[in-house]
Chains A and B, each alone.
Chain A
Amino acid sequence: MCVGFQELRFTLLVYTINIRVSLGRYNDDFDDGEDIAEFDDNDFAEFEDVSEDPAVDVEKEPPPRAAPSSTPIEDEEDEATVENEDGQDEFEDADAQDQDMYSKYDNEEFEGHEKTNPSFKDTLIYREVPAHLQNSWESYYMEILMVTGLLAYIMNYIIGKNKNSRLAQAWFNSHRELLESNFALVGDDGTSKEATSTGKLNQENEHIYNLWCSGRVCCEGMLIQLKFLKRQDLLNVLARMMRPVCDQVQVKVTLNDEDMDTFVFAVGSRKAMARLQKEMQDLSEFCGDKPKSGAKYGIPESLSILSEMGEVTDGVMDSKMVHYLTSHADKIESIHFSDQFSGPKVMQEEGQPLKLPETKKTLLFTFNVPGMGNTSPKDMDSLLPLMNMVIYSIDKLKKLRLNREGKQKADRNRARVEENFLKQTHAQRQEAAQTRREEKKRAEKERIMNEEDPDRQRRLEEAAQRREQKKLEKKQMKMKQIKVKAM
């Protein structure tokens, strides 16, 4: 009896190990924690109060691999048989018994299993392994997309930057000779001590290149800005697919006082003229009339003219200019000559007395690079005649002088503008003057208070009083005079 019991125990141990090993393969649907908690040192405890449903599930479905996941019921069965048979036989028959389990299954053998729910008809629930534990990259497709997007952005940045750089260089190469023959200084970034030509463009950022030229008759200097499209920015590239835009070349020539007479004039595409008339300080003040069609002066319909007076237009639109404008009308965005140039209208802040903006005699040319964004370096050569036009304009305006009538009209216009400005800011300036006066008084009073010597204090006070008295008297005199005049 004693020996049989030991053998029984050994057999059960083997089966326990078997179960544990097989159940270990199905980590997810076998709750180890629960079962381990139930087990105590007694080997038999594991066969007590075991949940019967999984057991039932496994029993009814005889897939071959379910066989190793033998349930405690199997053990009960074996337990029952062990008592009758020799324990050693159990070892040999262990595997065979597992496989024959289902054939030996007898519904009546177990109690309390009749009311098995139909849940065993459901298939085994295979829990999904969390994606980060799977060894597949497919689950990270969003991340891969993101990284691909970033790489695309970087690629576009490099390509765009290089393209802009090549375009700038192509422009400079085609214009270098013309500029060097006209200007003593070609290329200056303002940082070097001596004024020597750098001979190259100044890169402001990935899409804007500057060139400063100086040292010529009839002008102070010329700033050329190559305003390319933001090819380095992917967002911009996508936006441009919706709305095509051109690269632009902007030339700003600043003149000395003697280089130009007093007038304001502009010619360019109709859209540009409408926009400039609203935006530019000088054009809105001096060229109040709507832009006139260029057809009257022999230039294409697409161009319109804003002018201070007819004489100016006649003077500027000579045959050569007309020829330039006609042959390159598609590339001309705007041409703006002004002796009152102060840039776009500045938004005035409230309560701030605006001084008349500083003006400078300027010629401003804006050209569109052909290609509408799809520019190639070869297109830069087509801008060379336009630069010739610029040089021609500089020389021409030096010689263009208004006649006496025109000059008078121009002077009247400027005086009118100034007067309007002063009127508008009159209230503001008065306020400012008032505050200044009050400040002065306060400062004086403080000084008197701070004065330690009582004598000096008294003297200063008296002096202040006398000054006040004088002012009052002056005012009264003025009022009297006005009254007399009125009468």
Chain B
Amino acid sequence: SAPRPSGQLPLHSASSPLSHSPKPRVKFGGMFCNIEGAFENKTLNFESLGAGSRSREAFTAPAPPASDNQCRLSDKLIIKGGKIVNDDQSFYADIYIEDGTIKQIGENLIVPSGVKTVDAYGHIVIPGGIDVNTSLQAPHMGMSPADDFYHGTRAALAGGTTMIIDHVVPEPGASLLAAFDQWRDTADKRSCCDYSLHIDITRWHEGMFEELETLVKDHGVNSFLVYMAYKDKYQSSDSQMYEIFSILRDLGAIAQVHAENGDIIDEEQKKLLDLGITGPEGHVLSHSEEVETEAVYRAITIAKQANCPLYVTKVMSKPAADVVAKARKKGMVVYGEPITASLGTDGSHYWSKNWAKAAAFVMSPPLSPDPATPDYLNSMLSCGDLQVTASAHCTFSTAQKAVGKDNFTFIPEGTNGIEERMSIVWDKAVATGKMDENEFVAVTSTNAAKIFNLYPRKGRIAVGSDADLVIWNTKETKTFSAKSHNLTVEMNIFEGMECRGFPVVVISQGRIILEGEKLDVMEGSGRFVPRKAFPDYVYKRIKARSRMAEARGVPRGNYDGPVHDVISMTKSVPPTPTTRGPSCPGKTTAGPARNLHQSGFTLSGTQMDDHIPRRTAQRIVAPPGGRSNITSLS
């Protein structure tokens, strides 16, 4: 790629003087405040971002054919007349893009001739959306999702999202690295926009440590998901979660949780099926809000103990969101992610008479039947209690869903939302006055980029950042429908919803993908974006706390008082394993934990009166040598 101009100035001096910025924004504290150092160095050294050789290759020479490469490199663009909206401020300026990177921001830019001009007059220009939760590849009961990396990213781009982070779901017991390679392979071939990958830990064993380390250090993965649901399949026990969280903290990764109590769900499912409830309403009845809330609470407790940052995926209900918010108020490093579906619709549809429609909404945790939920979650998002919006896009055709037509537990889980995400947030939160345009940018891209260490390459319009931009129409409305969406499924859970705000132009990697109604994607043009460990936004606090939280013992003299004589336990109890998740046969598990209540030794040692028989329950009133100072009770 072309050499980067050296000695670039910080954004506010590179762009036009501040007087042109019509709305200097009051700085918020907390999450909306800029991360320190965000402005100091706009020259990104991408070489240093990628840790391994593999990832470096992904940067310097994008995997797909050279023609694409050529095409992208030659793309020079200037966006004129728009209002640039970042998460901290909005200002009017033009943007010049070359080589897939933002080169200049300001007014009256001097640009080479023959540059294509995009008119953004009357619209806002925002960083492309980042959707941090998609499942475009993970199979469910042997069925692949209807929208794969190609269809999914195409829909993402059509909706103004220019980067996705997909979940790698290895089969329980399989190698994480192998699954990661498989995902990368498919995504490199199929993806139309930049992508990154989370890895789900579907069955934990200690041998995984090395794989995790390799993934974090050499493959640019810094986030791992743990399941608290899907009993006997993916579910982890509290002990396992604690171990995983401790390791992730040491590696500098972020722990994500699918928070639902799998044990309770399993029991409730059995009960409902016994009652003869087999339709999709059984899904929401068995996955109640309480079960989600409980798991969120527990996950936060475990993360607090392990001092690990926690990211709760798919916050679907009011009480679960409240738990996240409360934990944040207590100072925990925890993030909450509501999704398109929970922000845009509710769970009343599970009772629809149309089976196919009801089944289309099946996902876990389910949509809350409480119709006030979307409004509430949008408010939480606006005030910063929740931070990131994602889509959890995972679609199955009606025929695939119909596998569970006689038993709701067989319905593959997942809804659409990748295309509708940005518009729904705009319509429900910005158009209603709950949040402003800057917060909109924060929750749709900037916060995600900060948490997952993509910032400021992604999630910001600044010199040196990737040219992933969206020109957003804030005034007109668009209607969602299965007839017009870019997905392959026949149902859209937002059918008929009219949303204000949609993208008119989408630029990904410096190339115009969407202009007006015309969508022009290129299969395989998406690059894998590696993410480094220890994101500052998340880990600064964690690191400080690790230093502070060192418990110390009390220095005491040796206890030299009488000790009750313990007969070595003869009727010791065989320890019953009580872990909540599945153990894994054939793998080295944590090893049976030491039973701390069981003692097979006597602490009293050899005494000079050992030959004198003594009753076992004898209370020693006057110990030999008299009471010593250390144990005197007065």
A and B: interacting chains: no
Identify the A interface with B (CB < 8 A): none
Identify the B interface with A (CB < 8 A): none
